[in-house]
Copies of this chain bind each other. A is one copy, B any other.
């Protein structure tokens, strides 16, 4: 049967980018459909009735939601190349734990970089630096989080790097100063064609954040 794969996504979403990177790692061809989150498509509302959020991967008519679950699904279905999760159960648990940690912490605190000011911004910057340092220490001296190969946790985190420019510019700080090894890791990831080709340009993400600030009437200065 010919595979039919559709991705409902938004160009600037770090969650949507995870699905793109995983699909590209596996060499899966798919139809990309950009969603307008202020006017969601009927297909999105029907495919993810519980959360009504992108990304949604629709594989032969069946929807899969939540980005980390999508990445695991892609890894399990297209298991002929580029394994993403480690094969060892303990390493799998560790990768899942840190990806979950990223999801529980990084999005909310990252969002504050371009939506808050004053004390709230300063507190968020401190927390953001602590999270990244924690992740940098998990990376250690390895090339990638799982070792020599780009894998699941790299997928989970590298898509955030497209927002680093926005965080730095709006927050007035440099991630590379605090976490130089993490920035080297980002560069190593971007040297992989299927990664760099799947990520949205940082400048476009920044323009998107500024546009959202205007739309939501957020004043940060």
Contact = CB atoms under 8 A, between A and B. Distances in A.
A50 B104 CA distance: 12
A96 interface: yes
B90 A73 contact: yes
A55 to B, nearest CB: 13
Contacts of A33: none
A76 interface: yes
Contacts of A51: 101
Contacts of A24: none
Interface residues of A, number: 22
Given A69-B97, A70-B93, A73-B92, 14 more contacts: A50-B134, A51-B101, A59-B90, A62-B90, A64-B90, A66-B100, A69-B93, A69-B96, A72-B92, A72-B93, A73-B89, A73-B90, A73-B93, A76-B92
A8 interface: no
Given A50-B134, A96-B69, A76 B101 contact: no
Contacts of A100: 66, 69
Interface string A127-140: 00000001000000
Nearest to A74: B89
A89 B187 CA distance: 32
A77 interface: yes
Closest 7 CB pairs of A and B: A76-B89, A73-B93, A64-B93, A69-B96, A77-B89, A69-B93, A69-B97
A30 to B, nearest CB: 16
Interface string A49-65: 01100000001001011
